[in-house]
Every structure is written in structure tokens, then in C-alpha cells.
Amino acid sequence: MKTPIFTTQPTVEALNRMSRNTMMEHLGIEYTEVGADFISARMPVDARTHQPFGLLHGGASVVLAETLGSVAANHCLDGQKQYAVGLDINANHIRSMRSGWVLGTTRPLHIGGKTQVWEIRITSEEGALVCISRITMAVLDKS
């Protein structure tokens, strides 16, 4: 069993509540699983997330990736003292999709005192890699 990394253990229900009235709700992103060292969510591939040619928009994949990495990073901190914000994100779009769901899972590559780096793998429902992303988070002290 993996050692838990979250200082405040998120739940699927709490994460989905937190997403109400946000871009995540607008795009249909739903958290699906929380483990000791990961968070997963799914996003529909439909008119909300398509680009003009009817394919999954790369920007929608980046929204899913940044959402997962940011939420995970902030759950690794003492929220009374610190918070994490996105510093850099990159994404490689591997496979196109026209319909269905994409599934994203984030896991840490580095959890440090001033930065965190998270990898987000986005796959089709069948497990084919659609996008691989990495986000660097800056850890800031609350003043």
C-alpha cells in the first residue's frame, strides 16, 4: 500500500461539491477516485469539449490536467499556512477523440517545500493514452 501524501484527505464527494459553479462543472468534469497518492476524474468528449472539427479540444485536456494537479497539490499542504498555484503546465496530445469520456489521473513527481511537480495521464475509457501533461506548482505562504 502506498504511503498517504495528502495532509487533508480529499473525498470524491467534497471535490465534486467544490467544483459547483466553476469551469469544471461547465465542462462536465467529475472526480471519480481518490487514493493514497493520486486523484482521478473524468470529462465528457462532447460539444462542451470539442474544437470546431469535432475532436477533443487540447485546451479542454489541459483544463482537466490543471484541475487535477492543482487540487492534488493543495491537498498536500497545510491550508492554514500555504497554498499552491500553477507555475507552468505542458501537454502532449497523443490521440484524438470524438466522443465518450476521457479519464485523468494525477500523481506527484516531486513534492517540495517551494515547488511541486505533478504528472497527469489522460486516457480513453479503453485505456489508450490521449494526453500526457506535467504541471509545476509554486507553493506560497499565506501572509
Catalytic residues: 66
Helix/strand/coil for 121: strand
Within 13 Å of residue 69, how many CA atoms lie on the same side as its CB? 33
DSSP letter at 9?
-
Contact predicate 74/116, CB 8 Å:
no
